[in-house]
Amino acid sequence: MTNGTMRSFWERNEASGGRLLKVTAKKYALSFFRAVLLFGMCFMILQPILNKISLSFMAEKDLYDTTIVVIPKHFSVSNWKIASYIINYKVSLLNTIWVSLLVSVIEVIMCTFVGYGFSRFDFPFKRFWFLCVILLIIIPPQTISTSLYLHFRYFKFFGHTINLKGSMLPYFMMCFTCMGLKNGLYIFMIRQYFLSFPFELEEACYVDGCGPFATFFRIMIPGAKPIITSCFLFSFVWQWTDSFYANLFLGKIQLLARSVGSLTDRLSTYMSRAQGGGNVSVPPAFAGAINSSAVLLIVLPLIVLYLFCQRLFVESLASTGVKG
């Protein structure tokens, strides 16, 4: 502040009986507290990621050097090469892409139908079924893992017992019945979004001769693009990093999350083969560096997807003349 501004401030403060100084001090104190809180939260989120990036580029001798904290002395990409080889990155990446994409599309389609039904139609035991949706959000899927395993391991089909474990059929069946990963949350989000639509809009469509399905596809779906897109992105990312359902059902399909889960055992086998056989003890620091590289190999495609979606969003805003 200039001297004139300072004098004006103190004059106004004196005229207000000291109230202006209290309000200004409170404002700056809250801003400082907010800045410290945001910095702390960002540091807690970013610090583990930065540590993994640092470890992934360290040579093995740097891992045991106590003078190195963040920046490696001997920059190396050997950890990335080893991690990529162990998890069979190309095959795992392609499998993860098509599985995540297919599952996400099915989940979003089915959850959109169910969420719209809960928001607009009355049917028997509606509140009970919506309570089941809430329980699907609250109860962890691990609590029913044994039941799911036994159900699909000894699946009854017209009096015959079929083993569906190790195929995509159990997962598809769960997705089509809205029992997949986080489906309860998607139904709840879509239902709440459709509840914000005015009922008069549908009544006008009915007067114009549209039936429930025509109204749903022509009016409601175009207006629900934001929530559908959000649910699709959530579903894709969660499916990308999921290992619980993948281990339970998709045993024959090599995915990134499953490969990283068994990375330690695979690393021991790799080290044993590299040294000509025998039992090999993998140093914990070296195993941590390889694991960090593998985790980054999983996260990197998601970052690329985020940047791509952000670019599409900005371009769509520019085409419509809206400033982002």
- Reported as a single tens digit per residue, the pLDDT across 36-51 is 988 888 888 888 888 8
In this prediction, residues 219-243 reach a mean pLDDT of 87
Q: At 123, is the pLDDT very low, low, confident or very high (cuts 50, 70, 90)?
A: confident
User: Under a CB-based contact definition with an 8 Å cutoff, are residues 104 and 175 in contact?
Assistant: no
Query: So what's the pLDDT on residue 190?
Result: 92
Rounded CA separation 23/241 (Å): 47
**pLDDT at residue 69 tops 80:** no
**pLDDT at residue 249 tops 60:** yes
**pLDDT at residue 167 tops 90:** no
Report the DSSP beta bridge partners of residue 161.
Answer: 156
Distances (CA, A) of 207 to 160, 180, 200, 217, 258: 50, 37, 10, 16, 53
Would you call 268 exposed, middle or buried from its count of C-beta atoms within 10 A (0-12, 13-18, 19+)?
A: middle
pTM over 0.85: no
Rounded CA separation 292/299 (Å): 11
Highest mean predicted confidence (pLDDT) among 183-187, 281-285, 303-307:
183-187
**pLDDT at residue 324 tops 80:** no
Q: Which two tokens stand for residue 79?
A: 């950890």
Query: So what's the pLDDT on residue 3?
Result: 52
* Chain centroid to CA 268: 30
**pLDDT at residue 5 tops 70:** no
User: Under a CB-based contact definition with an 8 Å cutoff, are residues 317 and 324 in contact?
Assistant: yes
Rounded CA separation 151/173 (Å): 12
Maximum alpha-carbon separation in the chain: 92
Phi, psi angles (nearest 5°) of residue 161: -95, 125
CA atoms within 13 A on the CB side of 243: 10
**pLDDT at residue 264 tops 80:** no
66-80 per-residue burial string, b: 16 or more CB within 10 A, e: under 16: eeeeeebeeebeebb
Percent of the chain with pLDDT over 90: 9
175-208 per-residue burial string, b: 16 or more CB within 10 A, e: under 16: beebbbbbbbbbbbbbbebbeebeeeebeebeee
Question: Could you tell me whether strands 155-157 and 160-162 are parallel, antiparallel, or unpaired per DSSP bridges?
Answer: antiparallel
| 3-state DSSP percent of the chain in helix, strand and coil, to 5 | 75, 0, 25
Which of 73, 114, 138 shows the shortest CA–CA distance to 231? 114
